[in-house]
Amino acid sequence: MSKHKMVDGKLLQMNKRYKDLKNRQKDKIAGWMYEACVTEMAYGAALQL
């Protein structure tokens, strides 16, 4: 089984661990997680009203 895929003409390794990512990739993931938490909290607060 290959650990690599062609994406936009580039060969990318798909099974990296979080610690192996670049800082800008970690920042992007952190932003996504923050948005997901804020959305979930807002949705949960709306359900309690």
Domain-by-domain residue ranges, the chain? 17-49
pLDDT at residue number 15: 92
pLDDT digits (tens, 9 = 90+) for 2-18: 799 999 999 999 999 99
Distance between CA atoms of residues 46 and 33, nearest Å: 20
pLDDT band at 20 (very low <50, low <70, confident <90, very high): very high
pLDDT band at 48 (very low <50, low <70, confident <90, very high): low
Retrieve residue 38's tokens: 């804020």
Distance between CA atoms of residues 11 and 35, nearest Å: 29
